[in-house]
């Protein structure tokens, strides 16, 4: 317990890496042997942190010890995984790639692999270790794994890096076109990401490729871009390699002076950076320049320097190249034995790095990767297709939904529109009706106004009528009074005149009887006129009197049997009928009875039958009486075969003193039919005549039937 606090404290102060040598640490760790497991884990965890700091400080051995203790003091797999990884990293820094690889591979053990948050971070150093060891196929395999992960995760930076690394694997195998392809792919990605460091690395690599392919101009172009960019971002390794590559281009162009200057700049930078691989390649190139300049000893010395470094770090690919360079120089020198020895070394190394099997395996892995990639692409295409189909389905669904929505909207709009239209129609109809009602109201009001006006007018007219009626009434009253007066006068006059007339008549007849013989012919003629006038005057007075009586006399209303009436009439007219040789025919056996005055009925029928006989003309008079029962009345017709009455006089003949003939033709007073009319009217009946001149006349009388 006590000790762990100590460690914590020291860690907190950041003093351990500075103050504690490894031995002290060992004793510290040993002193806590008795602590329990949890505490050990805590210590291990702290040791891990310590180791990382030591590694940063390039205190590689101390770091290795710290990481190794972590593995010793705990069984926690997560700590083991991290410790092995850090050990691998430390060995890599120490260019001990085999050990580095072993430790990296430890972390891929089933118990440990799960603790890597990002497995690609382990695969990448593994691939680099294999590359360093010249196991290109495995390096390639692990880079492909990283590429897959990066592609799956869509991490472009990592993809760019991996593509570059794969290019380098091909480059190391002198497969420059393939390498160039990967570098270009990487460059495209890096340019997208605007990652200057990676861009410069790619540009440099591409420059090297073009150089190797003999395309010096192209190579120089890329190398210069590479150098410019590296200088721009002040990327020291980039500057070193840029200079190296440009120098290499100059060598190709046999510009050895400038090439050498450039190389010296590059080499000094690499030394500063402790870039041993870079130093080897730089020295190699210097050796090449010396060789080309036939300064073979200088070339060999330079190669020896390079070989020493290559052996130090076991940089197999470099060793292979260096041996080849030795072969060339010794061959030129004619020292074939040494040339052979180096050639053998060169071949041995080459064989150990690349053999047919490994190449085949690489090709196989490459094709597997390509197939896998294609499958992935197809799968993603399928996914895309499925997605596309799903999208299409969704699109279709959207369209259908949209269609349905549109349709529903259309239906709703339609309904609303219809409603609106119906409402509008109803409204219009209502308006029409209202208009009609309004018009009707107006008309009604107008009518009312008219009615009012009419009523008003009617009232006025009524008033006028009443006034008139009153006047008429007054007139009637006056008339009645006058009539009465007239009737009275007529009656009185007729009556009173009859007496003196009778006197005249009597004395005229005495005169005639006594003195006729004494009178001459003229006087006798005059006497005849007087007698005649007197008789006519008498008849006139009689008629006037009877007319007057018909209108004024109080009527004794009784049931009058017309059979009796006609029997009396027949008897009264017996002589006249006989004299005229007339025939009186009554068609009905039983004539009806009426309510009225018996005297006046006799007077009525006697006048009419008498007229029928009188106006017979040349023919023997035939008078026919016919009675027809009607709904409310009896129609009695007195028909003769006489001279007839012209149409224009058929009404006039019922007026007083209207005669169509003079006395010489037919005797009469012109009062008879006026009296008949008065009698019929007093019995609430009607009288008229139908006649054809020369054929006869029919007098029609309508009298009310007796009440049932
Ligand atoms: P009167 O017979 O005394 O002349 P009425 O009043 O009876 O007077 O008749 C009026 C006139 O009507 C007659 O003068 C005659 O010209 C005409 N009249 C009347 N009855 C007949 C008839 N049956 N046929 C032709 N003319 C007639």
What is the tally of helices (H) and strands (E) in the chain?
A: 26, 7
pLDDT digits (tens, 9 = 90+) for 544-574: 777 777 776 666 789 999 999 999 999 999 9
Q: How far is the CA of 539 from the centre of ligand 1 (A)?
A: 15
Higher pLDDT, 541 or 254: 254
Report the candidate in 120, 209, 119 with the shortest Cα–Cα distance to residue 168.
209
What is the three-class DSSP state of 690?
strand
What is the three-class DSSP state of 691?
strand
What is the three-class DSSP state of 662?
coil
Nearest CA to ligand 1 atom 11: 659
What's the average model confidence in pLDDT over 306-324? 89
Nearest CA to ligand 1 atom 8: 670
pLDDT digits (tens, 9 = 90+) for 262-301: 999 999 999 999 989 899 999 999 999 999 999 999 999 9
Q: Would you say the CB of residue 638 lies under 6 angstroms from ligand 1? A: no
C-alpha distances (whole Å) from 491 to each of 495, 550, 660, 672, 681 are 6, 11, 26, 16, 20
Q: How far is the CA of 585 from the centre of ligand 1 (A)?
A: 20
Nearest CA to ligand 1 atom 25: 615
Which atom of ligand 1 is found nearest the CA of 642? 24
Nearest CA to ligand 1 atom 24: 615
Q: Are strands 593-596 and 558-561 parallel, antiparallel or unpaired?
A: antiparallel
Higher pLDDT, 627 or 377: 627
What is the three-class DSSP state of 355?
coil
Q: Would you say the CB of residue 611 lies under 6 angstroms from ligand 1? A: yes
pLDDT digits (tens, 9 = 90+) for 410-419: 766 666 666 6
Higher pLDDT, 440 or 537: 537
Q: How confident is the model at residue 680 (pLDDT cuts 50, 70, 90)?
A: very high
Residues 323, 326, 332, 338, Cα dihedral to 10°: -90
Of 638, 658, 668, 693, best ligand 1 pocket probe by most atoms within 8 Å of the beta carbon: 668
- pLDDT more than 90, % of the chain: 35
Q: How far is the CA of 622 from the centre of ligand 1 (A)?
A: 16
Q: Would you say the CB of residue 616 lies under 6 angstroms from ligand 1? A: no
Q: Would you say the CB of residue 266 lies under 6 angstroms from ligand 1? A: no
What is the three-class DSSP state of 561?
strand
The answer on pLDDT for 158 being more than 50 is yes
pLDDT attached to residue 205: 87
pLDDT digits (tens, 9 = 90+) for 12-62: 333 344 344 444 455 544 554 445 667 777 888 888 898 999 999 889 999
Angle at 138 between CA 132 and CA 140, to 5 degrees: 85
Residues 111, 117, 123, 126, Cα dihedral to 10°: -70
pLDDT digits (tens, 9 = 90+) for 584-638: 998 877 889 999 999 899 999 999 999 999 999 889 999 999 999 999 999 999 9
pLDDT attached to residue 117: 76
Rounded to two decimals, the pTM is 0.41
Q: Is residue 78 within 8 Å of 111, Cβ to Cβ?
A: no
- d(CA 502, CA 550) in angstroms, rounded, equals 23
pLDDT attached to residue 47: 87
Higher pLDDT, 358 or 601: 601
Q: How far is the CA of 615 from the centre of ligand 1 (A)?
A: 7
Three-class SS of 576-644: HHHHHCCEEEECCCCCCEEEECHHHHHHHHHHHHHHHHHCCCCCCCEEEEEEEECCCEEEEEEECCCCC
The answer on pLDDT for 581 being more than 60 is yes
Higher pLDDT, 468 or 192: 192
Q: Would you say the CB of residue 202 lies under 6 angstroms from ligand 1? A: no
- d(CA 678, CA 600) in angstroms, rounded, equals 10
Nearest CA to ligand 1 atom 1: 668
Residues 202, 204, 206, 212, Cα dihedral to 10°: -150
Q: Are strands 558-561 and 633-639 parallel, antiparallel or unpaired?
A: unpaired
Q: How far is the CA of 670 from the centre of ligand 1 (A)?
A: 7
Report the candidate in 318, 298, 296, 294 with the shortest Cα–Cα distance to residue 308.
318
Higher pLDDT, 313 or 449: 313
pLDDT attached to residue 690: 97
- Average pLDDT over the chain, rounded to an integer: 82
The answer on pLDDT for 471 being more than 80 is no
For the record, the structure tokens of 288 come out as: 């090449």
Residues 531, 533, 538, 541, Cα dihedral to 10°: -170
Which atom of ligand 1 is found nearest the CA of 675? 6
C-alpha distances (whole Å) from 284 to each of 301, 310, 311 are 10, 11, 14
pLDDT attached to residue 452: 74
Q: How far is the CA of 114 from the centre of ligand 1 (A)?
A: 159
Q: Would you say the CB of residue 640 lies under 6 angstroms from ligand 1? A: yes
pLDDT digits (tens, 9 = 90+) for 110-152: 878 877 777 888 899 999 999 888 888 899 999 999 998 888 8
Q: Are strands 583-586 and 622-629 parallel, antiparallel or unpaired?
A: parallel
Q: Which helix (H) or strand (E) holds 700?
A: strand 696-704
pLDDT attached to residue 46: 87
- d(CA 160, CA 147) in angstroms, rounded, equals 9
Residue 634's DSSP bridge partners are 629, 703
Q: Would you say the CB of residue 669 lies under 6 angstroms from ligand 1? A: yes
Q: Would you say the CB of residue 697 lies under 6 angstroms from ligand 1? A: yes
What is the three-class DSSP state of 692?
strand
pLDDT attached to residue 108: 87
Q: Is residue 319 within 8 Å of 307, Cβ to Cβ?
A: yes
For the record, the structure tokens of 245 come out as: 């590559």
Q: How far is the CA of 645 from the centre of ligand 1 (A)?
A: 9
Nearest CA to ligand 1 atom 20: 611
Orientation of helix 521-552 relative to helix 598-614, angle to 10°: 140
What is the three-class DSSP state of 646?
coil
What's the average model confidence in pLDDT over 171-178? 90
Q: Would you say the CB of residue 565 lies under 6 angstroms from ligand 1? A: no
pLDDT attached to residue 424: 65
Which atom of ligand 1 is found nearest the CA of 640? 23
How many other β-carbons are positioned within 10 Å of the β-carbon of residue 61?
11
The answer on pLDDT for 677 being more than 80 is yes
Q: Is residue 703 within 8 Å of 686, Cβ to Cβ?
A: no
- Residues 6 or more apart in contact with residue 244 via CB below 8 angstroms: 262, 263, 266, 267, 270, 278, 281, 282, 285
- d(CA 107, CA 70) in angstroms, rounded, equals 14
- pLDDT more than 70, % of the chain: 79
Q: How far is the CA of 611 from the centre of ligand 1 (A)?
A: 6
What's the average model confidence in pLDDT over 448-456? 72
Report the candidate in 129, 136, 174 with the shortest Cα–Cα distance to residue 354.
136
pLDDT attached to residue 19: 40
The answer on pLDDT for 167 being more than 80 is yes
């Amino acid at each position: 317990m006590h000790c762990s606090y100590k460690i914590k404290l020291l860690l907190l102060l950041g003093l351990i890496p500075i103050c504690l040598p490894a031995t002290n640490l060992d004793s510290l760790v040993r002193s806590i042997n008795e602590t329990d497991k949890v505490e050990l884990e805590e210590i291990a965890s702290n040791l891990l942190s310590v180791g990382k700091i030591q590694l940063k400080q390039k205190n590689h051995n101390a770091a290795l010890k710290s990481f190794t203790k972590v593995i010793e003091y705990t069984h926690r797999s997560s700590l083991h995984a991290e410790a092995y990884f850090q050990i691998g990293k430390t060995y890599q820094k120490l260019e001990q790639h085999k050990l580095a690889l072993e430790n990296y591979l430890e972390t891929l053990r089933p118990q440990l692999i799960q603790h890597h948050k990002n497995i690609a971070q382990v695969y990448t150093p593994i691939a680099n270790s294999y590359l360093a060891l010249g196991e290109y196929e495995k390096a390639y395999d692990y880079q492909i794994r990283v590429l897959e992960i990066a592609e799956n995760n869509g991490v472009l930076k990592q993809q760019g890096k991996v593509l570059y690394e794969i290019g380098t694997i091909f480059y190391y195998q002198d497969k420059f076109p393939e390498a160039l392809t990967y570098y270009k792919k990487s460059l495209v990605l890096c340019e997208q990401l605007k990652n200057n460091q990676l861009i410069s690395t790619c540009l440099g690599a591409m420059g090297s490729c073009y150089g190797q392919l003999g395309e010096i101009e192209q190579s120089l172009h890329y190398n210069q871009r590479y150098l410019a960019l590296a200088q721009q971002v002040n990327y020291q390794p980039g500057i070193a390699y840029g200079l190296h590559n440009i120098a290499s281009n100059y060598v190709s162009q046999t510009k050895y002076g400038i090439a050498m200057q450039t190389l010296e700049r590059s080499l000094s930078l690499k030394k500063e950076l402790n870039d041993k691989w870079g130093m080897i390649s730089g020295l190699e190139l210097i050796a090449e320049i010396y060789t080309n300049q036939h300064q073979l000893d200088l070339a060999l010395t330079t190669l020896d320097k390079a070989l020493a470094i290559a052996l130090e770090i076991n940089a197999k690919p470099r060793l292979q190249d260096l041996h080849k360079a030795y072969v060339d120089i010794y061959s030129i020198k004619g020292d074939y034995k040494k040339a052979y020895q180096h050639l053998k070394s060169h071949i041995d190394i080459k064989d150990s790095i690349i053999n047919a099997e490994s190449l085949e395996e690489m090709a196989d892995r490459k094709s597997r990767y390509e197939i896998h990639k294609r499958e992935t692409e197809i799968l993603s295409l399928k996914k895309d297709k499925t997605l596309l189909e799903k999208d299409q389905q969704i699109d279709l669904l959207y369209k259908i939904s949209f269609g349905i929505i549109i349709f529903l909207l259309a239906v709703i709009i339609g309904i609303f529109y219809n409603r609106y239209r119906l409402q509008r129609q109803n409204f219009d109809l209502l308006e029409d009706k209202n208009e009609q009602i309004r018009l009707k109201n107006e008309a009604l009001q107008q009518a009312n106004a008219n009615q009012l006006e009419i009523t008003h007018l009617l009232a006025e007219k009524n008033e006028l009528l009443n006034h008139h009626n009153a006047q008429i009434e007054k007139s009637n009253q006056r008339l009645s009074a006058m009539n009465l007066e007239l009737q009275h006068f007529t009656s009185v006059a007729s009556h009173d005149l009859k007496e003196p007339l009778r006197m005249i008549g009597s004395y005229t007849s005495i005169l005639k009887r006594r003195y006729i013989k004494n009178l001459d012919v003229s006087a006798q003629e005059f006497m005849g006129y007087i007698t005649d006038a007197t008789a006519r005057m008498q008849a006139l007075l009689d008629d006037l009197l009877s007319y007057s009586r018909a209108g004024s006399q109080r009527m004794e209303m009784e049931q009058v049997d017309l059979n009796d009436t006609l029997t009396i009439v027949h008897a009264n007219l017996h002589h006249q009928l006989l004299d005229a040789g007339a025939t009186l025919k009554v068609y009905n056996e039983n004539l009806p009875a009426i309510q009225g005055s018996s005297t006046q009925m006799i007077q009525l029928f006697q006048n009419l039958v008498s007229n029928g006989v009188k106006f017979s003309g040349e023919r023997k008079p035939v008078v026919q009486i016919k009675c027809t029962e009607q709904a409310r009345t009896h129609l009695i017709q007195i028909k003769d075969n006489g001279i007839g009455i012209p149409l224009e006089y058929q009404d006039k003949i019922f007026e007083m003193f209207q005669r169509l003939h003079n006395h010489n033709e037919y005797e009469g007073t012109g009062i008879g039919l006026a009296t008949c009319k008065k009698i019929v009217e007093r019995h609430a009946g009607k009288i008229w005549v139908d006649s054809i001149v020369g054929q006869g006349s029919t007098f029609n009388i309508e009298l009310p039937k007796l009440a049932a």
